[in-house]
Amino acid sequence: MKVPKRLQPLVDDGLVDEILSQLMSGKEAQVYVVRCGAAIRCAKVYKEANQRSFRQAVQYQEGRKVKNSRRARAMGKRTRYGQKESEEAWLNAEVDALYRLATAGVRVPTPFGFVDGVLLMELVTDVDGNAAPRLNDVTLTSAQAVEYHSRIIAEIVRMLCAGLVHGDLSPFNVLVDQQGPVIIDLPQAVNAAGNNSAGMMLERDVDNMALYFGRYAPALLKTDYGKEIWALYVSGKLQPDTPLTGRFERPTAEADVATVMRVIEHAREQEVERRQREVAAREAE
């Protein structure tokens, strides 16, 4: 097939020998099946920022580390340079997440490199060597649903122990190969310790999985793994092999309104001070 424009530099440099087919086109990227020497891999070609329907929401960017302080300031001010740096950080997020999670033993596609907005990685295949189907396209028995749900929960725990929350996990972001579920699509993965929305996102990921597998095994709809996992994480008790029950005992004590209001007021004062420091820093430049 004709070489897409964004893939031409990789062909010219010998990183890709042949474009075999287009695998899918999504909200953030197009994915192609490519030949790299004797290996068949996939190339994820990220769309330009103005062509993506999945925006770089501040909610997802919070807590992502930027080594260079000048870059961090520019990203915060959203200057032209800052927007360019934010785009680069967004594109690198999935690469960084894949390497970190693969090291932690999470079932994700093996990454092979990232060049000019193109991510080369393992092509996840089924038993016949064809591209593996998405979980959403697979029909399960009740027993399979329970088993796959258990595996996904274990992967979510391993991800969290590695410091990340997927943030957009759904049946469309899980492939099924001959060994079971493989988690994909991680550019929006968030820093669990540095993002104030991480707990909410983790619970949403877990709930999405329960709703899907609950179609085949309704008992899963009554589980509450998300809150249980997050509570164990924030208390420092979560390990990859921590036994889970799927239940969570919610506090029954009445809320201390006065304490909550003091915390809110303290946070407001800190925000005012932060903005004042930013103004002073800009004036000093």
The DSSP letter of residue 27 is S
Does the pLDDT value for residue 21 go beyond 60?
A: yes
Q: Is 168 an active-site residue?
A: yes
Does the pLDDT value for residue 34 go beyond 60?
A: yes
* Predicted pLDDT of residue 19: 96
Round to whole Å and give the CA distance between 273 and 3. Answer: 53
* Predicted pLDDT of residue 47: 80
Q: Is 241 an active-site residue?
A: no
Does the pLDDT value for residue 97 go beyond 60?
A: yes
Does the pLDDT value for residue 255 go beyond 80?
A: no
Catalytic residue among 185, 205, 241, 256: 185
Strand 118-122 relative to strand 39-46, pairing: antiparallel
| Higher-confidence position of 61 and 72 | 61
Overall fold of domain 5-234: Transferase(Phosphotransferase); domain 1 (1.10.510)
Catalytic residue among 168, 205, 207, 224: 168
Question: Which ranges of the chain does DSSP label H, i.e. alpha helix?
Answer: 8-12, 58-61, 69-77, 80-103, 142-161, 198-213, 225-234, 257-284
Round to whole Å and give the CA distance between 211 and 263. Answer: 35
Task: Tell me if residue 190 falls in helix, strand or coil.
Answer: strand
- What rounded mean pLDDT belongs to the chain? 84
Q: Are 222 and 149 in contact (CB under 8 A)?
A: no
Question: Which residues contact residue 190 at a Cβ distance below 8 angstroms, ignoring those fewer than 6 apart?
Answer: 60, 62, 63, 64, 164, 165, 167, 197, 198, 201
The model's confidence at residue 117, banded by pLDDT at 50, 70 and 90, is confident
Q: What is the pLDDT of residues 185-205, one digit of tens each?
A: 998 899 999 899 999 999 999
Beta bridge partners of 181: 176
Q: What is the pLDDT of residues 125-177, one digit of tens each?
A: 999 999 999 999 999 999 999 999 999 999 999 999 999 999 999 999 999 99
Round to whole Å and give the CA distance between 34 and 57. Answer: 31
**pTM of this structure:** 0.77
Sketch the domain layout of the chain as residue ranges.
5-234, 254-285
